[in-house]
Amino acid sequence: MLKAVTGRILSSLLVIVGSSALVFVIMYLLPGDPVASMIDISSASPETIANLRHQLGIDRPFLLQLADYFGKLLRGDFGQSVLNSEPVLPKIAKHFPATLALAAASAAVSVIVGVILGVLSAIHRNKPIDLIARIVGLLGISMPAFWTGILLLLIFSIRLGWFPAMGSDGWRTLVLPALTLGLIGAGFIVRMVRNSMLEVIGDAFVVTLRAKGLSERAVMYRHALRNALIPAVTMIGVLAGEMLAGTVVIETVFSRQGIGRIIADAIMAKDLPVVQGVILFSSLVYVVVNLLVDLSYAVIDPRVRRSA
């Protein structure tokens, strides 16, 4: 077990190194001159441009640049914004909590709504609750976040005034964005849990459980649900990525200060070090979440634990 966990952690590290390198290569190959976004090339003297290039270190060979890049990463140096020379890592650190709160709240909405509705709809197949669950699933999957977001804003802040329309301070600002993003996740999870629950209910061991005289509640919640959650957990890992990506849109729609917003702004301003930093940071978060998901398998499914 311990061996498997260390193995899994090692391979996660490898993924992080690989994705860091990939981010660098993409940035390196990107057309356009970073210098151009800092000064007006047409009016600057060639010496100034060459100087600036030398300062940025982009006149050196690729491998040297790569080594330099990794060296800096190891020291926690993600570079500086080309716009205002603000160091990237502290900038991310400052805004990450807001994004984390949003992602966590959305994930909670997805999982709670998704699992409960999914289970109920499988148990009460073809009953009203099943219909509701299927509608939620359909809406979650098919409605784009920006549209749902604007709709919720319109109803709950502008019409009813229950929640603030913008900002990232206090839990009240979190409700609408989390619902918006959470609905997407809930849509996926509802469908997943419903299907896997139905499949498990059809399994042979459920007949055994009933033949033992167990109550339906024990059969469903103690036994079937735990089996049905195994594929759903994978889904949750994938959704973590969706949630991160979703924050870009949501933070823009709800005017929240988070790293999603930062990267959106940085892309608009061609502030490459910031873009690079946020991508790197996000992939780090994604890898960690999926590592946790993988490890949680072992908790739910003893077969994973034993074979490890």
State the number of binding residues for other proteins (CB under 8 A).
Answer: 23
Nearer to other proteins, 27 or 218 (CB): 218
- To other proteins, the closest distance from the beta carbon of 122 in angstroms equals 14
H-state helical runs in 44-171: 46-56, 62-74, 88-123, 128-142, 145-152
213 binds other proteins (CB under 8 A): yes
Residue whose tokens read 């311990």: 2
Contact at 8 Å (CB) between 219 and 147? no
How far is the C-alpha of 122 from the C-alpha of 76, rounded, in Å? 48
208 binds other proteins (CB under 8 A): yes
209 binds other proteins (CB under 8 A): yes
Contact at 8 Å (CB) between 234 and 293? yes
Nearer to other proteins, 28 or 205 (CB): 205
Contact at 8 Å (CB) between 235 and 223? no
130 binds other proteins (CB under 8 A): no
Q: Which stretch binds other proteins (CB under 8 A): 11-19, 183-191, 199-207, 277-285?
A: 199-207
Q: Which stretch binds other proteins (CB under 8 A): 143-151, 159-167, 176-184, 216-224?
A: 216-224
| Options 205, 221, 288, 292; binder of other proteins; rule CB under 8 A | 205
Give the DSSP letter string of 148-169.
HHHHHIIIIIIIS--S-SS-SS
- To other proteins, the closest distance from the beta carbon of 164 in angstroms equals 44
Residue whose tokens read 């991160």: 244
Q: In the structure encoding, which two tokens stand for residue 109, read together?
A: 């909405």
Torsion of CA 88, 91, 95, 99, to 10 degrees: 0
227 binds other proteins (CB under 8 A): yes
204 binds other proteins (CB under 8 A): yes
- To other proteins, the closest distance from the beta carbon of 216 in angstroms equals 8
Helix, coil or strand: residue 7: helix
226 binds other proteins (CB under 8 A): yes
- To other proteins, the closest distance from the beta carbon of 201 in angstroms equals 9
| Options 215, 221, 288, 292; binder of other proteins; rule CB under 8 A | 215
6 binds other proteins (CB under 8 A): no
In angstroms, the first-to-last Cα distance of the chain is: 5
- To other proteins, the closest distance from the beta carbon of 186 in angstroms equals 25
> For residue 51, which phi and psi values (nearest 5 degrees)?
-60, -50
- To other proteins, the closest distance from the beta carbon of 207 in angstroms equals 6
Nearest CA to 111 out of 203, 227, 192, 196 is that of 192
Contact at 8 Å (CB) between 137 and 187? yes
268 binds other proteins (CB under 8 A): no
302 binds other proteins (CB under 8 A): yes
Total residues belonging to the chain: 308
Nearer to other proteins, 29 or 204 (CB): 204
Contact at 8 Å (CB) between 18 and 283? no
Tell me which residues touch other proteins (CB under 8 A). Answer: 203-205, 207-216, 218, 223, 226-227, 230, 300-303, 306
